[in-house]
Amino acid sequence: MSGAAGKKDEKTVLSGHASVSVGSLRITGDEIELSGTDFRYVKAFGNVTGVDSEQGFSFTADILTYDRETETASFQGSAKLVDTKHDVETSAGLIVYNKQTEIAQLQTGVKLKRKNIDCVSEFALYRRSVSMLDLTGKPVVTRDGDEFKANRITVNLETEFITLDGSVSGKLKETKKKEEAGSKAASPASGDAGAGFSASASGDVD
């Protein structure tokens, strides 16, 4: 461990599978840097993992930056945030999470999964307290085999209600009875949706 401290600035570096605890939040990494007045900022590098036992989430990342005053965490590089309280798994190139508002902002290669719902997009806003997800940047949502695309997709992760806005399209999986009936008919021509159903409109999907 190495460090330097002053009235205006303080800095301490912990190396070798270091760990720190900030309230209910525990952070581990190959190296952790504490800086700022009263060690306001925590920055962890390499094999970063952690858990918040009170809020019910865990995470992994290449780099983590945490502001103790605003209670905002930034996870960078192969970032994963698992909401154990609501059974939601997220991953992205960058995740910024505010503990006070319980809102996570995700960008670049966003993936989210909860039970029967899988989501991918370039940008996402996840509001934990109300189980709502807003997706933009070529979003695609798959629910029980049904696929939905739109300019913007909003998902209620609790009720699984999906709202689609702008340039909407989708493929709906047929029921078992329809699939059995379809198997007796001739094969569809090339380019047809086949056993699925495609649509292009604006509206809600339930």
Residue 64: CATH number of its domain: 2.60.450.10
User: Cα angle vertex 99, ends 96, 101, to 5°?
Assistant: 90
Predicted pLDDT of residue 206? 56
Predicted pLDDT of residue 204? 56
Q: How confident is the model at residue 9 (pLDDT cuts 50, 70, 90)?
A: low
How large a percentage of the chain has pLDDT more than 70? 80
Mean pLDDT of 27-39: 96
Whole-angstrom distance, CA of residue 150 vs CA of residue 138: 7
| Structure token digits, residue 144 | 């029980």
For the stretch 140-172, pLDDT in tens is 999 999 999 999 999 999 999 999 999 899 888
Total residues found in the chain within this entry: 206
Mean pLDDT of 2-16: 69
> What domain range is 66 assigned to?
2-205
DSSP summary character for residue 187: P
Whole-angstrom distance, CA of residue 130 vs CA of residue 147: 24
* pLDDT, averaged across the chain: 85
Predicted pLDDT of residue 170? 86
- Give the lowest-confidence range in 2-6, 105-109, 120-124, 192-196: 192-196
- Judge whether residue 196 has pLDDT over 50: no
Burial class (CB in 10 A: 0-12, 13-18, 19+), 169: middle
- Judge whether residue 20 has pLDDT over 50: yes
181 or 198: whose pLDDT is higher? 181
| Counted domains in the chain | 1
Predicted pLDDT of residue 173? 78
Q: How confident is the model at residue 10 (pLDDT cuts 50, 70, 90)?
A: confident
